[in-house]
Amino acid sequence: MCGIVGYIGNKNACKILLEGLSRLEYRGYDSAGIALREKEKFNIIKAKGKLENLIKKIGNIDEIKSNCGIGHTRWATHGKPSENNAHPHNSQDGNIVVVHNGIIENYLEIKTNLIKKGYKFYSQTDTEVIAKLLDYYLKESNNDILEAINKFMLRVTGSYALAIMIKSRKSEIYVAKKDSPLIIGVNKDETFIASDVPAILKHTRNVYYLENNEMAKIIAGKVIFYNSYKTQIQKELCHISMSLSSAEKNGYEHFMLKEIHEQPLSVKSTINSYLKENKIQFACLNESKIKGYDNILILGCGSAYHVGVCLKYVFEKLCQIPVQVDYASEFRYRESILSKNTLVIVISQSGETADSLAGIKLAKLKNVDTLGIINVVGSSIAREVDYVLYTYAGPEISVATTKAYSAQLVLGYMLAIKFATVRKKINEEQYQTLIKQIKELPYQIEQILKDEKNIQHLSSQFINTKDIFLIGRNIDYAIVLEGSLKMKEVSYIHTEAYPAGELKHGTISLIEKDTLVIGSLTQENVIDKTFSNMLETKSRGAKLLAITSNEIDCNICDYTIKIPKTNDLFATSLAIIPLQIMSYYLSVLKGNDVDKPRNLAKSVTVE
């Protein structure tokens, strides 16, 4: 989604802003722009498409004399991707420039009122409405900027992270936030603004996280924070330990391939963070709490939801506790019935997904405990939940998740094992066996990664495939849900994930000669059933690919990928790896933009 950067200090602001924007490219965007303060004026430069177009338009960066500016990568919501709709946006007289991440839900109504007052609009965006509304309030409050921002915050509904420059305030940038991320980094004589840490990591590791309904005045090397009553507040300075190299490709052609290969490490780091002396320990969760829950609801979106689907089976089998899984976007608009002993678990890599954030806020209104499985430290969801368990995947840059998904899975397994032992559903011996199996997973993933070349070769045979059906039962179904999403999003091949037994209730009519059917066959008790369903498609002309750790009749399948054997409950962590690799190579072979697939954004901060 949109990315914001800002800088005020003593260096070339243009260079710093462009560098910051390039570090935010992973979030997904379709146009970019910057506004630089140059003596008495703002120099606003925007371009549709990639950052390169903006860089070309700027020309000789070294010649630009500016130490203060804001920049933006836009992922279109209101109005098509175009130079006109790109940020920054400005007030009519050019006194105010603004960049914005989020959505102003009541922008049309505000726009209509402003038009009645004589304001003219040049774009279709909600952000231009922000610039003009701020202009209106600034005039109304005799140039009191904090008052104007405060009035704006009270007037709008929706989400925003804003960076604002005002012509007369030469050495200041203003920021405000609600439900969209914004961090502020400080160095000796410089201050940086960004949507995410990688944008400023090269310059500073000391950051402040702006909270909802807070605003700040940014000056070089200093930040003054205010709450929504315009009262000055103190905030804690946080130190970021993430390494810069973790946000770089390190010789891999794409971030996705690098992150696929980082999975043994991301899984191992997550395990090691919670396994002390062979015991699973979650400092934030006490045993009486764990004993008290009588059901669990898991919320997430996309791949995080798929982790939830897998964990439903794991929790139900190990802990005998009822588990529901819901898309956060659906949960927030249904009349859910949550008993007071429900634990709501939200899974999110970014910790900023708008639907997941709204889902967890809604759950909190129902007075139930909330727990987050989150990758980004200090993110909005991490700060919203009652208990947070971080995954240790490191920064994930490729839009399609791989290593964060794997870390979420393993942390979910560990949580289920903890619940099972505390609730006395497993004995010490079973507990130790499960831990041993968990500890083997990183090595087993490594083993599958060694097979990359064969999987790459196999993928090349499917380059012209139009439709792929992926089928499985129980946890195998959770596996194919994620495999199917990976293929769709990066290779753009149409795929469908189906519970194997459901195919014959309609979808089998789509199977024709040479349709590829991939069966996940890891769950001992249902392998034969799924295999039969695969054969039903073969009789109708399908080509079969089996992913399995078990003995099956390989002569029947056209292709087989063997994976190591683990506990059936943990099979997702292994069976997904070949599907990720296939998706990656299909994307590369088709010449797609692997790390930034079309129309997608990394952190989905709109509904």
Residue (491 or 603) nearer to ligand F6R, CB: 603
Provide, rounded to whole angstroms, the least separation between the CB of residue 25 and ligand F6R: 16
CB of 355 to ligand F6R, least distance (A): 8
Catalytic annotation, pick one of 258, 312, 486, 602: 602
Considering beta carbons, is residue 99 or 354 the nearer one to ligand F6R?
354
Nearer residue to ligand F6R within complex by CB, 3 or 6 = 3
By beta-carbon distance, which residue lies closest to ligand F6R? 302
Q: 585-598 burial by CB neighbour count: b if 16+ within 10 A, else e?
A: bbbbeeebebbbbe
Which stretches of the chain bind ligand F6R, using CB under 6 A? 301-304, 348-350, 353, 356, 400-401, 485, 489, 603-604
| Helices 302-319/475-486 angle, 10° precision | 170
Whether the bond into 88 is cis, omega within 30 of 0:
yes
Active-site option among 2, 14, 301, 557: 2
Is 319 a residue of the active site? Answer: no
- How many angstroms separate the CA atoms of 343 and 144, rounded? 46
CB atoms within 10 A of CB 283: 9
Q: Minimum distance between the CB of residue 130 and ligand F6R, rounded to whole angstroms?
A: 25
- The CB density around residue 538, as the number of other CB atoms within 10 Å, is 15
List Cα–Cα distances, 159 to 32, 105, 223, 335, 353, in angstroms. 20, 8, 22, 24, 12
What is the smallest separation between the CB atom of 303 and ligand F6R, expressed in angstroms? 3
Is residue 603 within 8 Å of 29, Cβ to Cβ?
A: no
What tokens were used for 585?
């190579």
Residue that is written with structure tokens 């927030």 in the block = 332
Q: Is 2 a catalytic residue?
A: yes
Phi-psi region of 356 (alpha: psi -120 to 50; beta: other; left: phi over 0): alpha
* Nearest CB to ligand F6R, comparing residues 99 and 358: 358
C-alpha to C-alpha distance for 183 and 287, rounded to whole angstroms: 35
* Alpha-carbon separation of residue 284 from 240, 411, 470 (angstroms): 21, 14, 38
CA distance 139 to 141: 5
Q: Rank residues 485 and 534 by Cβ distance to ligand F6R and give the closer one.
A: 485
Beta bridge partners of 498: 471
Cβ 573 to ligand F6R, closest distance in Å? Answer: 16
Query: CB-wise, 89 or 486, nearer to ligand F6R?
Result: 486
Smallest gap from residue 588 Cβ to ligand F6R (A): 16
Positions marked active-site: 2, 602
